[in-house]
Amino acid sequence: MEYSKENLAALLRKQQWTADEYKWLLQYINHEDNSELEHVAREDYEQQLIHAYNNQLPFSTEVLANIHSKLKENEAQRKQFKLSRWVAVAASVIGVLFCTVVYLHNKNIEVKPKLTDNLIKNDVAPGTTKAMLKLSNGSTVVLNDDKTEHIAHHGGADIVEDGGKLSFNKESAASVNDNTYTLSYNSLITPRGGQFQLQLADGTRVWVNSASQLQFPAVFKGKERRVKLVGEAYFEVAKNKEMPFIVEVGSSQVKVLGTHFNIRAYAEEGKTPVEATLLEGSIRFTNADNSVLLKPGEQASLAANGALALNENVDTDEITAWKNGFFHFQKRRLDFIMRELARWYDIEVVYKDPIDASFFAEMPKNTNLSDALKALQLTGKVRFAVDGKRVTVLKQ
């Protein structure tokens, strides 16, 4: 098959690939400019959108979901065949195509919106890997994903930044156990439009979401490992039965020995400003005199009035999608979705009209704002006006 733009577009639209077609695509990626694949995918995406609008048809998600599945399979194969260029291109294809896998939880879709040029003209780039480290001595370091360097020796730890990941590596035991050692807290601060990964001195891994702050000591000493969180973070806690790991979230705390869990604590979330979701192991969520022990797949939520509730059936994929590079919404109201987009794209959202609808959507975080907004507009129940970093929400 000839290496051509037309053949590439036809292949991306297919539901199934033969072995020869798969081999052709890999060869194409290895021999051609990767930017052409993204260009073809975006062009085909726009054509399908226009076709759906003109014919007032729901946009088919089957092909896109199929592509997403294939790309995930091929990412696993990359580890065996080292197809690094394939994964990079796959990410761009997902960014262009899979953002359209969205539909309204309402079958009475009457009118499809017209494509609005201002979504393209006033586009906003996605967030990036960035943060600021504030050490307990007051010094600060700007962090991003394009450098590898030794930052400092501080508080008994060797601090290293390596391509979007910050590590606190414990030095000698003597430096920690010395009687003169004082436990002091550092802060990892992510802005709107940023996120970062951190490895603590005990081996615990933490992914910190946008508009969040994690406070932690350079090394842990004593009978517990205590950190403080504002915003959202995902934890993979290193096991240590002798030193429980405790996350303080305002007046609440989550206590664990070694487990995987997500904590969401944004003040602007209103009715449920704190949520703790367990993926593996066990955790105890405590607020004042109320306490609940969670099993995997369960979520504890603290309401603004102090009421503590347990949800025993949670979609953990939705909860942790942000860590894996996606927005994933299951029957979420638009105001919830727009708060998520606002934190990632660092935008201001204004509502001219109330939108009383629930949405299901999955969108990659590495796509421009216009792609995310166009996906939501496909429902026929909402449209957007973009002016710089200001997004106005309107009814159709």
Written as one string, the DSSP assignment of 84-107 is: HHHHHHHHHHHHHHGGGEEEES-S
Mean pLDDT of 339-368: 91
Three-class SS state of 236:
strand
Domains (ranges, CATH) in the chain?
5-124+331-394 (3.55.50.30), 238-314 (2.60.120.1440)
Residue matched to tokens 């702050």: 213
Measured CA to CA, the distance from residue 37 to residue 378 in angstroms comes to 24
Are 359 and 102 in contact by the 8 Å Cβ rule? The answer is yes
| Stated pTM of the model | 0.73
Please report which residue ranges of 130-247 form alpha helices under DSSP H: 173-177
Residue matched to tokens 């590495």: 366
DSSP letter at 211 equals S
Q: What is the pLDDT of residue 59?
A: 40
pLDDT exceeds cutoff 70 at 43: no
pLDDT exceeds cutoff 60 at 172: no
Q: What is the pLDDT of residue 278?
A: 96
List the Cα angle 243/248/253 in 5-degree steps.
80
pLDDT band at 32 (very low <50, low <70, confident <90, very high): low
Q: What is the pLDDT of residue 99?
A: 44
Amino acid identity at 137? N
Mean pLDDT of 308-328: 92
pLDDT exceeds cutoff 60 at 333: yes
pLDDT exceeds cutoff 90 at 236: yes
Of 25 and 156, the one with more pLDDT: 156
pLDDT exceeds cutoff 90 at 28: no
**Averaged pLDDT score across all residues of the chain:** 78
Mean pLDDT of 114-136: 79
Q: Return left, alpha or beta for 270; rule: phi > 0 is left, psi -120 to 50 is alpha, else beta.
A: left
Q: Compute how many other C-beta atoms are within 10 angstroms of the C-beta atom of residue 371.
A: 23
pLDDT exceeds cutoff 70 at 175: no
Q: What is the pLDDT of residue 83?
A: 35
Measured CA to CA, the distance from residue 309 to residue 299 in angstroms comes to 8
Q: What is the pLDDT of residue 176?
A: 54
Identify which of 28-37, 268-277, 381-390 has the greatest average pLDDT.
381-390
Q: What is the pLDDT of residue 101?
A: 42
pLDDT exceeds cutoff 80 at 2: no
Nearest to 358 by CA among 107, 141, 190, 25: 107
pLDDT exceeds cutoff 90 at 205: yes
pLDDT band at 174 (very low <50, low <70, confident <90, very high): very low
* Cα-Cα-Cα-Cα dihedral sign, residues 321, 323, 324, 327: positive
Q: What is the pLDDT of residue 93?
A: 46
Mean pLDDT of 302-306: 85
